[in-house]
């Protein structure tokens, strides 16, 4: 790899880590701010980001192809910065629903631009290492962003200014770099229904993973705020949950590559559900809640990548990009519904209702996965090893020029 390409890759990883640092802070901050404002439809405001992100994951590809990666990155980052800057000027449910959706759309564009750029620039022999560095950087930045919560005045507009500044920094880093635009390749089309018939457990798991994750990250900080929990404690709890998800990735990945992924999913689901139910009855002290947060975040964050790997086990290698994109859509829809359903339950039953709701959802996944492992044989893990993956890292985290990611040869029996 040449020095110029290494510089481009390093710049992209750092810039996107800055974006994730802002996202980690902003997601928790908005949850707290919505609780303070007392909006009539808090769940809708919180889920609007996921709706915009899901739409952006599928629409921004054509924008990138039309105007190029550098200009697209600048446009998406500027879109997010503008929407965030307007939010303290237009405080209201409807305005924030629209602006949060715009932020989600822009963030999706940033991630797709970055990941397609990394895919095109990294050599095939080094691509796994590059994406591992990328995912580690973004995970840690997402976690560190939680620490800002303890240092800000939630009622002030300074937090919005900080987010705008961080996105501006990322924009400057990318647009001032010397870089050649990557080549954009066409991807295989996946008809609706094919993936559901081939990997129903993966589709169900991605939907429920999005449902649970959306409810957790949107509603738990808001509830803690309503309980007059110190912001330092809220920040620490969310930080530990994110780090728990990061810590579980490699050991769960090894288990997933060694055993039937559906059995692994069943155990993850039971582990999450058990932890969620136990958290309802635990004393509300840091010494008991923080270890539970590690487990909860770990089980929750590994559901999606195991489902993605299981889906790829059951689909031709030539459709890897289309499959990942379709699973992002499913997960995104679940993320939209999670805060909506969870907010209505929290209004009636408190945070206990949210934890029981998440537990029931994941128990359903555990039952479906466990039953599936008993009724059908597990496919061989030849083409789809587990990878550290989040929904935003899906459709572009593959090489469109790699034979395994392209359409199968004419004489291929698949």
pLDDT of residue 400: 40
What's the whole-number mean pLDDT along residues 104-124?
Answer: 80
**What's the predicted TM-score (pTM) here?**
0.77
Distance between CA atoms of residues 203 and 205, nearest Å:
5
List of domains in the chain:
1-186 (1.20.1250.20), 188-396 (1.20.1250.20)
Tracing tokens 């949210």 back to the chain, one arrives at 354
In 26-160, which ranges are E strands? none
Task: State pLDDT tens for residues 223-273.
Answer: 888 888 888 888 899 899 988 988 888 788 888 888 888 899 999 999 999
Find the helix or strand (DSSP H, E) in which 332 lies: helix 320-349
Distance between CA atoms of residues 311 and 199, nearest Å:
5
Distance between CA atoms of residues 114 and 138, nearest Å:
12
pLDDT of residue 403: 39
What's the whole-number mean pLDDT along residues 17-25?
Answer: 89
pLDDT of residue 211: 93
Q: Is the four-CA dihedral 402, 175, 162, 108 of positive or negative sign?
A: negative
Task: State pLDDT tens for residues 84-107.
Answer: 999 999 998 899 999 999 999 999
Cβ(210)–Cβ(301) under 8 Å? Answer: no
């Amino acid at each position: 790899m040449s020095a110029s390409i290494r510089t481009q890759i390093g710049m992209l990883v750092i810039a996107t880590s800055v974006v994730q640092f802002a996202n980690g802070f902003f997601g928790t901050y908005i949850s707290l701010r919505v609780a303070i404002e007392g909006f009539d439809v808090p769940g809708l405001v919180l889920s609007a980001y996921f709706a915009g992100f899901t739409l952006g994951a599928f629409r921004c590809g054509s924008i990138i192809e039309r105007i190029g990666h550098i200009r697209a990155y600048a446009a998406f980052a500027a879109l997010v910065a503008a929407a965030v800057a307007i939010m303290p000027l237009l405080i209201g449910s409807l305005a924030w629903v629209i602006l949060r959706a715009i932020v989600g759309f822009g963030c999706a564009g940033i991630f797709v631009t970055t990941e397609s750029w990394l895919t095109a620039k990294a050599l095939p022999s080094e691509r796994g290492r590059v994406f591992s560095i990328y995912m580690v950087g973004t995970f840690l930045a997402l976690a560190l962003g939680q620490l800002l919560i303890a240092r800000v005045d939630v009622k002030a507009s300074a937090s919005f200014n900080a987010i705008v500044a961080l996105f501006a920094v990322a924009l400057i880093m990318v647009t001032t770099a010397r870089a050649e635009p990557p080549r954009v390749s066409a991807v295989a089309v996946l008809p609706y229904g094919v993936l559901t018939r081939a990997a129903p457990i993966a589709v169900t798991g991605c939907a429920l993973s999005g449902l649970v994750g959306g409810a957790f990250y949107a509603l738990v900080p808001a509830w803690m705020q309503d309980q007059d929990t110190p912001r330092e404690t809220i920040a620490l709890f969310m930080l530990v949950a994110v780090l728990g998800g990061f810590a579980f990735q490699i050991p769960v990945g090894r288990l997933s590559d060694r055993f039937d992924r559906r059995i692994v999913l069943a155990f993850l689901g039971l582990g999450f559900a058990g932890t969620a139910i136990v958290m309802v009855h635990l004393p509300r002290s840091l010494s008991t809640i923080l270890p539970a947060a590690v487990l909860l975040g770990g089980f929750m964050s590994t559901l999606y990548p195991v489902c993605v790997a299981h889906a790829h086990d059951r689909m031709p290698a030539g459709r890897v990009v289309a499959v990942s994109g379709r699973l992002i859509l499913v997960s995104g829809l679940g993320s939209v519904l999670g805060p909506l359903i969870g907010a209505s339950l929290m209004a009636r039953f408190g945070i206990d209702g949210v934890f029981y709701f998440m537990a029931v959802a994941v128990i359903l996944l555990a039952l479906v996965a466990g039953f599936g492992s008993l009724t059908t044989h597990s496919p061989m893990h030849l083409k789809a090893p587990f990878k550290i993956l989040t929904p935003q890292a899906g459709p572009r985290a593959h090489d469109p020029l790699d034979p395994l990611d392209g359409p199968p040869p004419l004489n291929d029996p698949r």
